[in-house]
Amino acid sequence: MEQQPLLEANGLTKRYEDGALAVNNVSFSVRPGEIYAMLGGNGAGKTTTINLFLNFLEPTSGEARIAGIASHADPLAAKKHVAFVSENVMLYTNFTAVQNLAYFVRLGGRTGYTTEDYRRVLLRVGLQEEAHHKKLKGFSKGMRQKCGIAIAILKDAPAILLDEPTSGLDPKSGYEFMQLLGSLRDEGKAILMSTHDIFRAKESADTIGIMRQGNLVMQQSRAALSGEDLERLYMEHMAGVTE
């Protein structure tokens, strides 16, 4: 039996007060154990879509559902089922990695974790042990992204939203990050990721959507794209050749 989608956009539309259409009638779904990669240029509407899922913005029409709950109708209930990793994870620089984890995990509604749990998860995301109890002041972007994904793991939500998580990471860190996402998918998480990185999207995603000017102009499974040159397709969609 096919599992119910954990992340679902139904005719999702966002028009700003100045009339700009950021997201236009976008529909897609992400099921447990699936990575959905949203590709698109700057201003394509990827981050706005994620913001609509997190209820940082109210949709003009349509809805974004998390675990079946419309996030604009009951944001608190919906957010219990989702974790979020932003493009540039910003944490408290005066606190250590473990202290940051403890705070955000408690805000995520999870309690009872031990220092050992924090140690294990930080090691799993690839943060070296000597950094665990250091203040975040000197942390690189890659180290902060690792802390961000550690927070998402500890929240243990069935769905994860990632907004260009590998942007600005060096190739090794990017690779490790995608490996980690793969393992989370294998644990049954539904992952929605916005990215510019066509290579990593093709390598890791189960479904790829291309957004342009707020519209979801293409949506294909990895299987359907197996013989295709994704880069060519992407460039064609970006240029509007396929319309």
Partner 1 sequence: MLNTLITHELRTIVLSPKFSLTFAVTSLLMLLSVAVGIAQYHDAVRQYETTTALTQQEMREARGWMSLNNTVLRAPDPMQIFVAGVNDDIGRISAVNSFRGIKLTHSTYSDDPVYAVFRFIDMAFIVSVVFSLLALLFTYDAVNGEAERGTLQLIFSNAVPRARYILGKFIGAWLGLIVPLCIPFMLSALLLIVWSVPMSPDHWLRLLTLYGTSILYVTVFIAAGILLSTATKRSSTSFLYSLVSWVCLVFIVPRAGATIAGQIVVIPTVAEVEAERDAFAKDRWARYEETLQTTWRSRNAPIESMTREDREAYREQHMWEWMEEDDRNRKQVQKDIDAFALSANEQQRNRKAEQERLAFALSRFSPASAYHLAAVNLAGTDITLKARYEDALNIYRPLFTAYKDKKQKESGGMGGIRIEVNTDTGVKIDTGREKGVLDISDMPRFEQPQRSFRDAAVPAMIDIGLLGFFSFAAFAGAFVRFLRYDVR
Give which of 227, 199, 215 is closest to 40, Cα–Cα. 215
Judged by CB under 8 A, which of 33, 41, 54, 134 binds partner 1? 54
CB of 92 to partner 1, least distance (A): 6
Q: Does 183 bind partner 1 (CB under 8 A)?
A: no
Residue 40 near residue 46, CB atoms below 8 Å? yes
Give which of 89, 99, 94 is closest to 142, Cα–Cα. 89
Residue 151 near residue 108, CB atoms below 8 Å? yes
CB of 83 to partner 1, least distance (A): 7
CB of 172 to partner 1, least distance (A): 24
* Contact stretch for partner 1 (CB under 8 A) within 4-12, 50-58, 188-196, 233-241: 50-58
Total residues contacting partner 1 by CB under 8 A comes to 30
CB of 135 to partner 1, least distance (A): 10
Residues 72-131 close enough to bind partner 1 by CB under 8 A: 75-77, 79-80, 82-84, 86, 88-92, 94-95, 103-104, 106-109
Buried b / exposed e along 7-41 (16+ C-beta atoms within 10 A): bbbbebbbeeeeeeebbbebebbbbbbbbbbbbbe
